[in-house]
Amino acid sequence: MQKHMNHILGKKNQITLISGILIATAFITKWTTGNMSIFTWALIIASLLGALPIAIQAIQALRVKVVSIDVLVTIAVIGAFLIKNYEESAIVTFLFLFGAFLELRTLNKTRSAIKALTEMAPESALKKMENGEFEEVEVDEVDVGDVLLVKTGAKIPVDGTVLSGEGHINESSITGESLPVGKEKDSKVYAGTILENGTIQIVADRVGEDTTFGKIIELVEEAQDSKSAAERFIDRFSKYYTPAVLVLAFVVWLVSRDVELAITILVLGCPGALVIGVPVSNVAGIGNGARHGVLLKGSEVINDFGRASTMVFDKTGTLTVGNPAVSETVYYTDDIDKVLGYLASIERESDHPLAKAVLQKIGDTSYSPVENTEVVKGGGIVATVDGHRVAVGNVALMEKENVILDEKAIDDLERFIKNGNSLVLTSVDGELKVLMGVRDQIRPGVKEDLQRLKDLGVKNLVMLSGDNQGTVDVVSRELGLTEAYGNMLPEDKSAYIKKLKEEGQIVAFVGDGVNDSPSLALANIGIAMGSGTDVAIETSDVVLMNSDFGRLPHALGLTKAISRNMKQNIFIAIGVVLVLLASVFFSEWMNMSIGMLVHEGSILVVIINGMRLLRYRLRNKNLKT
């Protein structure tokens, strides 16, 4: 029996087509030949045929104790058939089936982002075998540690590290960034990305569902399947609303003894648009985020994020690039090239972040042998270079080396410190030659992005950092933040967020997803800056792929647009039902066929309205959708 039911449901589209042809045949015959026998029998067959899949779905719903829309339509069609209103029964079944077909087809478009992601999943790989040759194997046969060959135009099959070769990879499926990224030895690569040019060999670090790509698909699918508070409310509402429509129709029949009126109420009271309206908004919105490098992990996140009143930011790696760079330089010598050569000779032997920043600033230069190197704890380095005693470090080291700092040098030092720099001084034979200010650079475009967040309704922008208060204040002034606190340990950040929540604020915390995990977990919305790192994906509610801060305003604007879209769909759905029911009692023209047509039309309207979110982009000037 169940097998036959499933077979009929599998042929639902064909049944819809045949039903439509029969109805068309009935009316064409009536209008052209006036043959009422063909007219009547064509409508009877169309009614019975169209009612089959609807009745099966109604039975399946009743088996799990749910009074679904299919139950209402089935009762209405049976009633219309019994009172020999074959036109109504045939047209209602056809419209219901055809509407379901259009709904499914239209709704599938809202899942286009996930479908596109799934289709990007690699299926095979060129694996290095024991004989040293590369053979094509199924991607499921690749294990961690295997060496793989990737040629131009091929998909990267796993997360891995480049062993040899160079090329440019399109990582848009992971990061949302359309520009290809250059890769060379020791670079990280991700499954599902495409090697646009070059040839590389990689070693597999993560395979299958453990890859970044696999986790992204899993997360987005879970998010789309999750239900928000609004959806859960509508589910509960529908559970009681649908039986209430049945009761209303029965009461109307008892009072009026008008079977057709009661049947019409059953059709018009179907809450289809209400049931589908909120989920389609969520699905389309989350799909949009996935295409733009923003992972929204569930419907609850959308609701909370859209209402965020305070955003708290970690500094290093979030508001700033995370890589110190030389921001200011003053020379106290005419022989600049020689002194920079001495400085570079010493710094290239250090792995300190400031040393890397200095070397990057100097660039190509001539190096000299370094002898008698002495590392001064908390001060810097002293060494002999080309017969000269060279000291590189902070002010304390200069004082220890008896380097005289004149009035100009002292003024420069104060200015550098005021600007939030860490100081690197270089002396040669006891004389100050170079002063460099090193600081972490603010991310390009962050100031504009923060202003966009304000325009979107975020009242407070707060920065918490482990750096000294002076450096924090400089960044805060430059970015126009509401508050900024330095010398904050991870537990201090968590305590501050807890305090804000106790004050009734809805708090979003934006961090790098590593040492900020407690704060990410504690905030109402944890937002991780990370190129698909495990910790970022697992501890946060929102992930900005590729550590792109510029995606944050888009993410916030998107969640607000989703919430607005949900409310619009609920208003449309309830409004249409109320208008239809009112029309039954207060108009002459309303009947079952017109009601079903409007009912199915309202479902398509809310779906199409939800689909607008697929095209959502936050505009630069006008922040509305």
How far, in Å, CA of 269 to CA of 262, rounded? 11
How far, in Å, CA of 252 to CA of 473, rounded? 71
pLDDT at 625 over 50: no
Number of helices and strands (H, E) in the chain?
23, 20
CA dihedral defined by 510, 217, 607, 623, rounded to 10 degrees? Answer: 30
pLDDT at 589 over 60: yes
pLDDT at 84 over 80: no
Contacts of 401 (CB under 8 A, 6+ apart): 382, 391, 427, 430
**Tokens 């970690």 sit at which residue?**
314
Return phi, psi of residue 17, to 5°. -65, -45
pLDDT attached to residue 177: 52
Residues 583 and 538 in one domain: no
pLDDT attached to residue 532: 43
pLDDT > 90 in the chain, percent: 20
pLDDT at 593 over 80: no
Laid out side by side, the sheet with 542-544 consists of 294-296, 542-544, 525-529, 507-511, 310-314, 460-464, 483-485
Q: Phi-psi category of 186—alpha, beta or left, where left has phi over 0 and alpha has psi -120 to 50?
A: left
How far, in Å, CA of 513 to CA of 532, rounded? 10
Longest CA–CA span in the chain (Å) reads 116
Structure tokens at 118: 């799934």
Question: Could you tell me if residue 11 is inside a domain?
Answer: yes
In the three-class reduction of DSSP (H, G, I as helix; E, B as strand; rest coil), residue 271 is classed as coil
Residues 131 and 103 in one domain: no
Question: Which of 441, 462, 482 delimits the end of a domain?
Answer: 441
Between 41 and 607, where is the model more confident? 41
Between 408 and 528, where is the model more confident? 408
Residues 504 and 536 in one domain: yes
Residue 493: which CATH number?
3.40.50.1000
Between 292 and 147, where is the model more confident? 147
Residues 231 and 99 in one domain: yes
Question: Could you tell me if residue 432 is inside a domain?
Answer: yes
- Mean pLDDT is lowest, of 25-39, 166-180, 265-279, 297-311, for 166-180
Between 72 and 434, where is the model more confident? 434
Residues 427 and 410 in one domain: yes
Question: Could you tell me if residue 293 is inside a domain?
Answer: no
pLDDT at 579 over 90: no
Residues 41 and 139 in one domain: no
Q: How many Cα atoms within 13 Å fall on the side-chain side of residue 169?
A: 27
Label residue 615 by pLDDT band (50, 70, 90): confident
The secondary structure element, H or E, covering residue 38 is: helix 36-63
Contacts of 283 (CB under 8 A, 6+ apart): 107, 110, 111, 224, 610
Question: Could you tell me if residue 625 is inside a domain?
Answer: no
pLDDT attached to residue 311: 94
pLDDT attached to residue 71: 75
Question: Which of 441, 465, 482 delimits the end of a domain?
Answer: 441
Please write the tens of the pLDDT for every residue from 214-242: 766 665 555 455 555 655 666 666 667 77
Question: Could you tell me if residue 216 is inside a domain?
Answer: no
CB of 88 within 8 A of CB of 80? yes
Structure tokens at 124: 């095979």
Label residue 623 by pLDDT band (50, 70, 90): very low
Question: Could you tell me if residue 211 is inside a domain?
Answer: no
11-18: list long-range contacts, CB under 8 Å, 24+ apart. Answer: 11/53, 12/53, 12/97, 12/100, 12/101, 13/101, 15/49, 15/50, 15/52, 15/53, 15/97, 16/50, 16/94, 16/97, 16/98, 16/101, 18/46, 18/49
Label residue 355 by pLDDT band (50, 70, 90): confident
Between 511 and 330, where is the model more confident? 330
pLDDT at 265 over 90: no
How far, in Å, CA of 267 to CA of 262, rounded? 9
Provide the number of structural domains found in the chain: 4
Residues 326 and 315 in one domain: no
The secondary structure element, H or E, covering residue 558 is: helix 551-586
- Report how far apart the first and last C-alpha atoms of the chain are (Å, whole number): 50
Residues 77 and 174 in one domain: no
- Has 314 been annotated as catalytic? yes
CB of 423 within 8 A of CB of 328? no
| C-alpha gyration radius of the chain | 34
Question: Could you tell me if residue 466 is inside a domain?
Answer: yes
How far, in Å, CA of 472 to CA of 118, rounded? 43
pLDDT at 116 over 70: no
pLDDT attached to residue 488: 79
How far, in Å, CA of 110 to CA of 277, rounded? 12
CB of 91 within 8 A of CB of 81? no
pLDDT at 113 over 60: no
Residue 429: which CATH number?
3.40.1110.10
Nearest one of 357, 366, 353, 365 to 328, comparing CA atoms: 357
pLDDT attached to residue 26: 87
For the ranges 28-37, 109-118, 474-483, 600-609, the maximum mean pLDDT occurs at 474-483
Residues 104 and 232 in one domain: yes
pLDDT at 61 over 70: yes
Residues 362 and 381 in one domain: yes
Residues 107 and 143 in one domain: no
Please write the tens of the pLDDT for every residue from 417-452: 888 787 899 999 999 999 998 887 888 889 999 999
pLDDT attached to residue 622: 40
Question: Which of 512, 529, 554 delimits the end of a domain?
Answer: 554
Looking at 314, 440, 516, 548, which residue is catalytic?
A: 314
- Mean pLDDT is lowest, of 248-252, 352-356, 419-423, 602-606, for 352-356
Return phi, psi of residue 225, to 5°. -85, -15
Residues 176 and 90 in one domain: no
Question: Could you tell me if residue 214 is inside a domain?
Answer: no
| Residue ranges making up the domain that contains 469 | 307-321+443-554
CA dihedral defined by 217, 561, 547, 445, rounded to 10 degrees? Answer: 160
Contacts of 448 (CB under 8 A, 6+ apart): none
pLDDT at 200 over 80: yes
Going 300 to 303 to 304 to 305, the CA torsion angle's sign is positive
